[in-house]
Structure 1
Amino acid sequence: MKMKNLKIIALLSMVFYTMQACSDDDDHTSTDTEYATIVMVHGAWQNASVWDQVKNQLQSQGHTVVAVELLGHGEDETPVADITFEAYVKQVKTAIAAQGTPVILLGHSLGGAVITQTAAEVSEQIEKLVYIAGFIPENGKSVLDNSALDTTSLLPSALEFSADGSTAAIADPETNIPEIFCQYGAQAQVDLLIKNLKPEPLAPLATPLAYSGEDYNTISNKYYVFTKEDHAITYSFQKKMASDAGITKTYEVTSGHSPFVSRPDEVLQILQTILED
């Protein structure tokens, strides 16, 4: 009789131990969240603050997000003569190296060209590469070479060049910023873009990229977010660049050139899908 009771106690103990182990596993699974490290690169005539709405949401979810402020943009007062495409790339590489882990590298517009060059140079440090209406110049081609092919863009006709040809400003920003950069944006969002507007250094835009296609193609996880009603880099040209770069994972936002400003929730949802891929 005693032996039978001992067997029952042993069996119950085993069942309890197994249930407890499963419970521990479940608890571990529920709290073992994967957090990403994301480096963002803004485009021309903008600065790092354009990412704030999306950046803040991602950070609140536990992700690490770094928004690079390119030289000559925002509050940076680097002389135009000292601003080069190579310097932009160096800034982004420095930001990536500081994270100490592979990153998701995201670029918009001009920032697309910057992340293309950067990714090819430090491909081992790139987990995923994400373009939002970003330029993808081929090796030997510049942003200006790319933009010249986009014949229906409204941007060229909105530019005013400095006397020495070193910079280009957006003429009549109250009209051209909402029309070209921020369709569907609230007035406060348009005002923010206008407030941070500065003449754009042209030397980086005219600099041909110099990278190995083989290195660039070692990054298998590439994504493109199309902005369907973009008047700066048109939807059709975005699709051509993505196709030429072999990017098949694509998403769309019905917006103008700056969806992270005018449609932040939609951009956030797309980025969350990319993070989970």
Structure 2
Amino acid sequence: MKKSKMNSLPLKTISNLFLLLFTTISNASCSNDDAEAKKSPVILVHGAWQASYVWDTTESDLKAAGYNVTVVKLPGHGDDTTPTYQVSFQSYVDEVKKAINAYNEPVILIGHSLGGAVITQTASEVPQKIKKLIYIAGFIPQNGKSVLDYSQMDTASLLPASLKLSEDQTLAGIVNPEVNLPKIFAQDATDVQKQFLVTRYKAEPTIPLGTPLNYKTADYNLGGIKYYIFTTADNTITYGFQQEMAKSAGIANTYTINSGHSPFISKTAELSKLLKEILSH
């Protein structure tokens, strides 16, 4: 009977072959571990009439998936006591850049609503530090236009008609927030979720809302791969207007969630799943 080639090999040679195979498998496993360890940092930027607390569940979900996450606290929001006259659009951008500079690698910026305008300006100022830009129902004003300009262009939005200004016009509030805030920002949320937003409601500084963005489109285009998540039942920034902005900005990577303006409140699991899908690309 003819011996197989394996049986004819010296024992030492066979041992070396198994050692080589084991080393190859181990190295492949280490490479996968390294890939997992190199997930880009994620920075979350909230919108108007809200604050960093809206990201609590999203932050926890992304951290559980292995991401380093920073939630930006914009001046004048939540428990921040910066005087209203000192709150500027550039102060928002500077706060995001501070979060970016805490990492020694390109980051992924996620902006909601007003936060969309903030990450747009930020990406144009430090494009080399941005890997991806993800909008969730986010404003993308063109150079020379403000969030207020764009909000007034969205004629189907319920927001503009519900606003009231303070006497000195430095704050914009929501008329009858107990009723209108949930209707505008989270009509699809549960009663508990709506109350969560209402009890944390705070009037919005007007100066940043009316400040035109100032950037070069070429710089913005260098600021990472762009994605847009449409919220199709949105009463604040309507689905159609979101589509117009994404198209104008040349964003081809788009996704949808059937939610109101605050999916991180009403559709947390669906949003987290979608974000993890985008982040893994």
- Tell me the TM-score normalized by structure 2: 0.93
Deviation at residue 157 of structure 1 after TM alignment:
1.5
Aligned positions of 1:86-101 closer than 5 A? 86-101=90-105
Q: Distance in 2 between matches of 1:189 and 1:134?
A: 21
* Alpha carbons 2:182, 2:198 under 8 Å: kept: no
Unaligned runs of 5+ in 2: 1-6
Q: Distance in 2 between matches of 1:26 and 1:95?
A: 33
Letter in 1 for 2:202: K
Query: Which one of the candidate residues 204, 211, 215 is aligned to 1:207?
Result: 211
Deviation at residue 30 of structure 1 after TM alignment:
4.4
Query: Which one of the candidate residues 142, 145, 155 is aligned to 1:141?
Result: 145
| SS in structure 2 at match of 1:208 | coil
Q: Distance in 2 between matches of 1:86 and 1:31?
A: 39
| SS in structure 2 at match of 1:134 | coil
| SS in structure 2 at match of 1:131 | strand
Q: Distance in 1 between matches of 2:21 and 2:114?
A: 55
Letter in 1 for 2:53: S
Query: Which one of the candidate residues 30, 33, 37 is aligned to 1:31?
Result: 33
Deviation at residue 92 of structure 1 after TM alignment:
0.7
Once the two structures are superposed, what CA deviation does each residue of 1:13-38 show, in whole Å capped at 9, x if it has no partner? 12221221133134324433142201
- Tell me the TM-score normalized by structure 1: 0.95
Residue identity (%)? 48
Letter in 2 for 1:86: Q
Q: Distance in 2 between matches of 1:17 and 1:132?
A: 50
Q: Does 1:192 align with 2:196?
A: yes
Letter in 2 for 1:73: H
- Give the structure 2 partner of residue 225 of structure 1: 229
Once the two structures are superposed, what CA deviation does each residue of 1:202-240 show, in whole Å capped at 9, x if it has no partner? 110000000011100113510000000000000000000
| SS in structure 2 at match of 1:100 | coil
Q: Does 1:170 align with 2:174?
A: yes
Q: Does 1:40 align with 2:44?
A: yes
Q: Does 1:54 align with 2:70?
A: no
Letter in 2 for 1:50: V
CA RMSD, Structure 1 to Structure 2 (Å): 1.5
| SS in structure 2 at match of 1:99 | coil
Query: Which one of the candidate residues 96, 111, 127 is aligned to 2:115?
Result: 111
Deviation at residue 85 of structure 1 after TM alignment:
0.5
> Structure 1: which 4+ aligned runs deviate by more than 3 Å?
none
Q: Distance in 2 between matches of 1:37 and 1:205?
A: 28
Unaligned runs of 5+ in 1: none
Deviation at residue 7 of structure 1 after TM alignment:
5.0
Query: Which one of the candidate residues 6, 13, 16 is aligned to 1:14?
Result: 16
Q: Distance in 2 between matches of 1:152 and 1:15?
A: 70
Structure 1, 235-244 or 191-200: larger mean CA deviation? 191-200
